């Protein structure tokens, strides 16, 4: 940007440093997602054909009838009061704890919650202990604050890990159907982590966007709920819980929430004030109308069977075409299947280029790894496309793998048999 090319004032100041270490992969997916000839198994988008358009139309009408100008106003920065109260009541009912509106901040999706948490806690170099691989959006959100990372080891009993926790500003985990791996973290591991977090005196960010996408049985009990069980009275624990209607309703309302102790909520609100002044009272009032009717819970029952069918279609087709090279666990919830190369010499960053040639997109595993080391996995989304499109995508991916392996003689000769035998 400092090269003069005849533009007015073409000499320009430098960009902030973090921009030099970011990537444009999410933007690439969004662009590819718009190309009709590409089968995208990349993004993390819901099935648009299930968006409840008439219900939202009716909710918008009622919200303006009921709340009038209050639904068109700059908000209280913490969010539309009645929606905060409703969410506090739901969390109270779900966990048995004592939550009020003072424990709730409404955000522009969970993504804004991640940005705000980084703003109030992270200075350059500060440590985050994160489940790895980690949700790409969280790494994006915190990059401008230039944190350092350490991998969350759920089962670690070594002193070094406890010391790292004590130094960390917070722990980040997605225990229900993790993004990207789809893993459902076991109850005892959740409880054990909470013990360590309390002992270390740090915060624990529990990100729970996929809660409603329960494909085979219920999700785990939240770490927030574990925390509540340890002490009665108004909530003051270290768990910062993130929820959203993006998966259970629609993403385009941009309504999510943070549940935390009141002091944390106050500082997050201060950061939100400095970020966008307030959320949209209009979309918050529309969301209130729908949640008052439990519409999101009913709607989730419509979504789940369709997503289950799609997950099964993707896994079935993958078993037919990809198992020589990749292995995976069938996820019991969420939106993704995480494929690990049997041969660690397979580089999914490289494979991605062959996939685009075959007009199929996925997310290479490297972008979920803050250390940038794991390059042998990939994330496939199954919620956005029909079973037929998913099958076609997998067949294209199989062709891409074939082409990639053919172009890498060392993989084809030595490693294919090794790969197959380890499956």
In degrees to the nearest 10, what's the CA dihedral of 92, 93, 96, 98? 20
Among the listed ranges 86-94, 143-151, 207-215, 391-399, the one in contact with a copy of itself (CB under 8 A) is 143-151
Residue closest to 204 by CA, chosen among 274, 296, 129, 120: 129
- Going by C-alpha positions, the residue among 137, 142, 33 that lies closest to residue 381 is 33
Interface pick for a copy of itself out of 206, 261, 289, 358 (rule CB under 8 A): 261
Number of residues that bind a copy of itself (CB under 8 A): 94
Contact mark string toward a copy of itself, 313..342, x via CB under 8 A: ------------------------------
In the complex, the smallest distance separating the C-beta of residue 392 from a copy of itself, rounded to whole angstroms, is 22
Segment 365-404, which members bind a copy of itself (CB under 8 A)? Answer: none
Residues 6+ apart with CB under 8 A from 260: 103, 105, 239, 240, 241, 268
In 270-301, which positions are buried (b, 16+ CB within 10 angstroms) versus exposed (e)? ebbeebeebbbbbbbbbbbbbbeeebbeebbe
Interface map 181-200 toward a copy of itself (x if CB under 8 A) = ----------------xx--
| d(C-alpha 83, C-alpha 63), whole Å | 12
From the list 99, 135, 149, 170, which residue makes contact with a copy of itself (rule: CB under 8 A)?
170
Lookup: tokens for 2:
């400092």
Exactly one of 86, 89, 98, 120 binds a copy of itself (CB under 8 A); that residue is 120
144 near a copy of itself (CB under 8 A): yes
Identify the residue among 39, 45, 88, 152 touching a copy of itself (CB under 8 A): 45
Smallest distance, a copy of itself to C-beta of residue 58, A:
9
Interaction between residue 115 and a copy of itself (CB under 8 A): yes
Reduce the DSSP state of residue 185 to 3 states and report it: coil
The tokens describing 232, both together, are 């009665």
- Secondary structure E strands in 198-290: 203-207, 239-244, 256-259
Which residue stretch of 282-290, 309-317, 359-367, 399-407 sits at the interface with a copy of itself (rule: CB under 8 A)? 282-290
Indicate which single residue of 280, 343, 376, 383 sits in contact with a copy of itself (rule: CB under 8 A): 280
Residues in the chain: 423
Interaction residues for a copy of itself, span 48-87 (CB under 8 A): 48-49, 51, 53, 56-57, 60-61, 64-65, 68-69, 71-77
Q: How far apart are CA 185 and CA 102, in angstroms?
A: 29
Segment contacting a copy of itself by CB under 8 A, of 90-98, 108-116, 307-315, 344-352: 108-116
Considering only residues 12 to 31 of the shown chain, the ones binding a copy of itself according to CB under 8 A are: 12-13, 15-17, 19, 22, 24, 26-27, 30
Q: Please, which of residues 200-239 interact with a copy of itself by CB under 8 A?
A: 201-203, 227, 230-231, 236-238
The residues facing 336 across adjacent strands are: 381
Q: How crowded is residue 363: how many other Cβ atoms within 10 Å of its Cβ?
A: 28
Contact 204, 238 (CB under 8 A): yes
Residue 398 CB, nearest approach to a copy of itself (Å): 29
3-class state of residue 127 by DSSP: strand
CB of 227 to a copy of itself, least distance (A): 6
> What is the smallest separation between the CB atom of 264 and a copy of itself, expressed in angstroms?
9
The distance of closest approach from Cβ of residue 247 to a copy of itself in the complex, given in angstroms and rounded to an integer, is 11
Is 122 a residue that touches a copy of itself (CB under 8 A)?
Answer: yes
Alpha helices (H) along 254-375: 262-276, 281-292, 295-321, 348-357
Pairwise CA distance, residues 130 & 138, whole Å: 10
Do residues 326 and 404 touch, judged by C-beta distance below 8 A?
A: no
Q: Which stretch binds a copy of itself (CB under 8 A): 172-180, 276-284, 307-315, 318-326?
A: 276-284
Q: Which stretch binds a copy of itself (CB under 8 A): 92-100, 163-171, 300-308, 403-411?
A: 163-171
């Amino acid at each position: 940007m400092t090269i003069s090319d005849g533009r007015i004032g073409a000499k320009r100041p430098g960009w902030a440093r973090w921009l030099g270490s970011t990537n444009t992969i999410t933007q690439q997916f969004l662009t590819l997602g718009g190309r009709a000839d590409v089968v995208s198994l990349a993004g993390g988008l819901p099935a648009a054909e299930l968006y409840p358009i008439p219900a939202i139309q009716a909710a918008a009408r009622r919200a303006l009838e009921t709340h009038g100008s209050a639904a068109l106003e700059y908000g209280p920065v913490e969010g539309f009061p009645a929606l905060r109260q409703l969410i506090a009541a739901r969390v109270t009912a779900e966990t048995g704890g004592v939550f009020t509106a003072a424990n709730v901040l409404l955000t522009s999706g969970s993504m804004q919650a991640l940005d705000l948490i980084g703003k109030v806690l992270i200075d350059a170099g500060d440590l985050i202990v994160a489940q790895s691989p980690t949700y790409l959006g969280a790494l994006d959100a915190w990059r401008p604050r230039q944190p350092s990372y350490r991998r969350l080891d759920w089962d670690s009993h070594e002193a070094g890990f406890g010391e790292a926790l004590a130094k960390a500003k917070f722990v980040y985990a997605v225990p229900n159907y993790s993004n990207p791996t789809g893993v459902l973290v076991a109850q005892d591991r959740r409880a054990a982590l909470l013990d360590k977090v309390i002992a270390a005196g740090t915060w624990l960010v529990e990100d729970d966007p996929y809660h409603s996408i329960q494909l085979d049985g219920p999700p785990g009990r939240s770490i927030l709920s574990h925390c509540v069980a340890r002490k009665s009275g108004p909530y003051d624990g270290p768990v910062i819980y993130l929820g959203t209607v993006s998966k259970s309703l629609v993403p385009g309302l941009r309504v999510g929430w943070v549940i935390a102790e009141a002091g944390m909520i106050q500082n997050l609100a201060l950061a939100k004030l400095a970020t966008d002044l307030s959320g949209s009272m209009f979309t918050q009032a529309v969301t209130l109308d729908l949640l008052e009717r439990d519409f999101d819970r009913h709607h989730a029952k419509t979504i789940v069977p369709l997503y289950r069918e799609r997950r099964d279609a993707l896994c079935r087709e993958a078993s037919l075409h990809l198992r020589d090279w990749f292995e995976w666990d069938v996820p019991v919830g969420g939106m993704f299947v995480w494929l690990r190369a049997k041969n660690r010499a397979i580089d999914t960053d490289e494979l991605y280029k062959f996939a685009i040639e075959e007009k199929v997109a996925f997310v290479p595993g490297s972008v979920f790894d803050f250390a940038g080391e794991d390059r042998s996995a990939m994330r496939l989304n199954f919620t956005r496309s029909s079973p037929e499109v998913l099958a076609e995508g997998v067949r294209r991916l199989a062709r891409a793998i074939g082409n990639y392996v053919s172009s890498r003689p060392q993989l084809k000769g030595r490693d294919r048999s090794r790969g197959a035998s380890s499956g």
